[in-house]
Amino acid sequence: MKRFDDALLDATVRDFLRVRAADTDGIRGADAMSAEIAQRALGLRRTGERAWSGRLVWVALLASLLLMAIWAVLVGGRRPPVVPLSVGNGVIAYAAEGSPSDIYLVRPGAAPRQIVGEGAGEGAVYSPAAACPTFSPNGTTLALGAIAGSFILVSVDPEGEVVGTRRLQTPGAESPHCASWAPDSASLAFLDGSALIIVPLEGPARRIDDWETAVASDAATFLIDYPPDRAVQWSRDGSMIAIARPSGTWLVPVKGGEARRLHDSPARTLSWAPDGTRLVVWTPAGSLVIRATDGTLVATLPPGNQPVWSPTGSRIAYVGAEASVYVVGPDGSDPRMVAGYGYDITWSPDGKEIMYIHDGCEGPTCVIGDTTFHGYALMSQAIDTQGAASGDPVIVAPMVRIASERSYPPAQSFSWQPVYR
Amino acid sequence: MTSDTRRDAIADAATALDAASLDAFVREHHGRLVCLARLVCLDSSEAGDAVQAALEQAWRRRDSLRDAHALRAWLDRIVVREAIRQDRQRRSPLARLFGSPREIPVATVDRRAAAPHLSMALRLAFEGLPAAQRVVVALHLHYGYSVAQTAELVGAPIETVRSRLRVGRQQLRLALEDERQ
């Protein structure tokens, strides 16, 4: 990829601007402008015309006011209300409704700030579109899936301020991808079809095509593709990448070598235990806790889906009966319902809160506490040391874009900035 | 000739003189201002409206200009602010509701296929910038105004202009690097 240093960039842009400035086709000539300005500035227009013009201005003004009032009533209420956060730590990036590209950053006590999308204005870090906001484990970088198979890497400081942007090209297909970060924050991985692609931030990318070996020809397929960011997860030491596939749960060595199938149940999503010894995998047979060494089944969780291991290791959150959010011990004991109607669960970096997409509202309007909003909301719920809900849920952001009812962006609605280091 | 008729004749003569002066004034500045507006506005119609409105404003307020050497910068400032105002109007909810939609590059378009030339990639990126960023890039890089002069022209603090310039450059750099792959 050719890098554009400042001098080359400025020279290229100057050339472009020179050509553009000279392209004045279609703009009124000096004669026409002079005549029109003379009519208005020197009073050459007939009195009757001016009177009519004045009336037309008033009519247009009144009509505009009327239309603006109608617009405010019909559409104004759909704007995301400003919701101060009370979540414990970190900045949150999320994709919002609007154009496909809207990405926001929000931090405790502050209003959401748009960084991608048409309405981002001067705060825009990238245009025209991006998807799948995913923070690096060291908290410094937000990866956004972008066009042409690339990622936009946005450097974000602990206060949530954007301090830089760069593009990371990948050999993946054109559509935006969802990043899975290596634990050292130095590489990204994602699935491109069945190919695993590993992209270091510096250096050439690797594409591993034939890792999924010895797969039975009648391997299961899923009717719905689940968010790929939850299907590709690096091990804590960075040596392996666990992948959930219809053919089972796999471990792929990062530095080369044969992939190993840990478990043969069709797997939709997976999550590592923080100590790297176990995985919890969502399969049609239930959420299974398996050993990372040999795939031995350790526990089966109560019925549910999308299990996510907490950073402390003591709990697993999942979507259980009636789409409620539950927290359970890794051995399947002591399940507790902590929130109603939610999915896409993510733990806060300190393991004291969960965040999830709330879709429990019927009809166009949702009211939680004293906030009214439309569509889906990103919610936060504090969890105590016993795995029970502590206090009321908090709306982090209303009107978020969700993964399951769209083809684009493909997944990952939000990401929580880990503790900055 | 009655006194009223004489007064009318004098007024007509003055108007004719004004008209001639106005015509000369428009012709003198039209070309340069059109180029400037073309860099800020996204289409020729908006650019023409911005220039015409600016020339009219300038003509009406010409007596307020004390330093003739400052005429060019003064005109540039009026055109730039008028162009930004028009851009804001175009983006207003009512304009978006009733106005004709402008084609906006979206992610589903493969820009490498749709824009095989470097200038096309730059055009898409440049037009994707907010007007406030477009104008500082154009004033600084094309017209050679310093950051401080640009800040004066657009009526914004110097730090704001620096920030707009930095973000604008970033966007254009990304577009160029994307195109070069």
Q: Please answer yes or no on whether B30 and A12 come within 8 Å at the CB atom.
A: no
Q: Identify which of A42, A122, A167 has the shortest CB distance to residue B133.
A: A122
Q: Long-range contacts of range A192-199, CB-CB < 8 Å, 24 or more positions apart?
A: A192/A149, A194/A245, A196/A232, A196/A241, A196/A243, A196/A252, A197/A170, A197/A171, A197/A172, A198/A241, A198/A254, A199/A151, A199/A168, A199/A170
Q: Please answer yes or no on whether A37 and B22 come within 8 Å at the CB atom.
A: yes
Q: Residue A42: how many CB atoms within 10 A of its CB?
A: 15
Q: What pLDDT score does B161 carry? A: 82
Q: Is the pLDDT of residue A104 over 50?
A: yes
Report the C-alpha gap between A378 and A366 in whole angstroms.
12
**B138-163: average pLDDT:** 81
Q: Identify which of A23, A37, A71 has the shortest CB distance to residue B59.
A: A37
Specify the higher pLDDT residue, B176 or B90: B176
The counts of H helices and E strands in chain A are 3, 30
Q: Dump pLDDT digits (tens) for A388-406.
A: 998 888 777 766 655 433 3
pLDDT-based confidence at residue A226 (cuts at 50, 70, 90): low
Q: What pLDDT score does A180 carry? A: 92
Q: Please answer yes or no on whether B107 and A17 come within 8 Å at the CB atom.
A: no
pLDDT-based confidence at residue A42 (cuts at 50, 70, 90): low
- CA A303 vs. chain centroid, Å, equals 27
pTM score, whole prediction:
0.56
Does residue B51 sit at the A interface (CB-CB below 8 Å)?
A: yes
Q: What pLDDT score does A284 carry? A: 79
* Phi (first) and psi of residue A210, to 5 degrees: -115, 40
Q: Is the pLDDT of residue A103 over 80?
A: yes
Cβ contacts (< 8 Å) between A125 and chain B: which residues? 167, 170
Q: What pLDDT score does B116 carry? A: 39
Cβ contacts (< 8 Å) between B18 and chain A: which residues? 42
Q: What pLDDT score does A128 carry? A: 64
Q: Please answer yes or no on whether A176 and B34 come within 8 Å at the CB atom.
A: no
Mutate to test the interface with B, among A17, A39, A116 (most CBs of B within 10 A): A17
- CB proximity list for B103: less than 8 A, separation 6 or greater: none
Q: Dump pLDDT digits (tens) for A161-190.
A: 888 888 888 888 776 778 899 999 999 998
**Shortest Cα distance, chain A CAs vs residue B67, angstroms:** 23
**A276-290: average pLDDT:** 92
**Shortest Cα distance, chain A CAs vs residue B107, angstroms:** 5
Searching chain B, which residue's CA lies closest to the CA of residue A32?
B52
Q: Please answer yes or no on whether A37 and B52 come within 8 Å at the CB atom.
A: yes
Q: Please answer yes or no on whether A41 and B60 come within 8 Å at the CB atom.
A: yes
Q: Is the pLDDT of residue A105 over 80?
A: yes
Report the C-alpha gap between A276 and A293 in whole angstroms.
10
Specify the higher pLDDT residue, A84 or B7: B7
Report the C-alpha gap between B153 and B41 in whole angstroms.
16
Q: Dump pLDDT digits (tens) for B33-86.
A: 888 888 887 777 778 888 888 888 887 777 766 666 677 878 888 888 888 777
Q: Dump pLDDT digits (tens) for A2-15.
A: 566 777 888 888 88
Q: Dump pLDDT digits (tens) for B46-55.
A: 788 888 888 8
Q: What pLDDT score does A308 carry? A: 94
Does residue B37 sit at the A interface (CB-CB below 8 Å)?
A: yes
Cβ contacts (< 8 Å) between A173 and chain B: which residues? none
What whole-number percentage of chain A has pLDDT above 90?
A: 25
Q: Please answer yes or no on whether B170 and A125 come within 8 Å at the CB atom.
A: yes
Report the C-alpha gap between A416 and A349 in whole angstroms.
7
Q: What pLDDT score does A336 carry? A: 94
Q: Please answer yes or no on whether B94 and A71 come within 8 Å at the CB atom.
A: yes
Q: What pLDDT score does A93 carry? A: 87
Cβ contacts (< 8 Å) between B111 and chain A: which residues? 147-148
Q: Please answer yes or no on whether B167 and A125 come within 8 Å at the CB atom.
A: yes
Q: Is the pLDDT of residue B171 over 70?
A: yes
β-partners of residue A244 are A249
B118-128 helix and B158-179 helix, angle to the nearest 10 degrees: 150
Highest mean pLDDT among A47-51, A95-99, B9-13, B29-33: B29-33
**B81-94: average pLDDT:** 67
Cβ contacts (< 8 Å) between B171 and chain A: which residues? 124, 126-127
Residues in chain B: 181
CB A396 within 8 A of CB A415: no
**A310-317: average pLDDT:** 94
Calculate the average pLDDT of chain B.
Answer: 71
Least confident of A195-199, A240-244, B19-23, B99-103: B99-103
**Inter-chain contacts counted by CB atoms under 8 A, chains A and B:** 179
Specify the higher pLDDT residue, A324 or A110: A324
Q: Which of residues 56-95 of B touch A (CB under 8 A)?
A: 56, 59-60, 93-94
Searching chain B, which residue's CA lies closest to the CA of residue A163?
B167
What whole-number percentage of chain A has pLDDT above 70?
A: 73
Does residue A118 sit at the B interface (CB-CB below 8 Å)?
A: yes
Does residue B169 sit at the A interface (CB-CB below 8 Å)?
A: yes
Searching chain A, which residue's CA lies closest to the CA of residue B27?
A30
**A124-149: average pLDDT:** 81
Q: Dump pLDDT digits (tens) for B111-139.
A: 333 333 445 777 778 887 877 788 889 88
* Phi (first) and psi of residue A116, to 5 degrees: -135, 140
pLDDT-based confidence at residue A218 (cuts at 50, 70, 90): very low
Q: Which two structure tokens, joined as six digits, stand for A9?
A: 């960039």
Q: Dump pLDDT digits (tens) for A12-29.
A: 888 888 877 777 777 778
Q: Which two structure tokens, joined as six digits, stand for A354?
A: 């969960």
Q: What pLDDT score does B95 carry? A: 44
Q: Dump pLDDT digits (tens) for A342-381.
A: 777 889 888 888 988 776 555 555 666 666 665 667 788 8
Q: What pLDDT score does B78 carry? A: 83
Q: What pLDDT score does A108 carry? A: 64
Q: Which two structure tokens, joined as six digits, stand for B46?
A: 């908006």
Burial class (CB in 10 A: 0-12, 13-18, 19+), A413: buried
Q: Identify which of B55, B133, B174 has the shortest CB distance to residue A126.
A: B174
pLDDT-based confidence at residue A223 (cuts at 50, 70, 90): very low
Q: What pLDDT score does A41 carry? A: 66
Q: What pLDDT score does A344 carry? A: 79
pLDDT-based confidence at residue A334 (cuts at 50, 70, 90): very high
| Alpha-carbon separation of residue A162 from A105, A223, B66, B102 (angstroms) | 10, 39, 43, 29
Q: What pLDDT score does B71 carry? A: 77
Searching chain B, which residue's CA lies closest to the CA of residue A33?
B52
- CB proximity list for A318: less than 8 A, separation 6 or greater: A282, A287, A301, A304, A305, A306, A307, A308, A325, A326, A328, A345
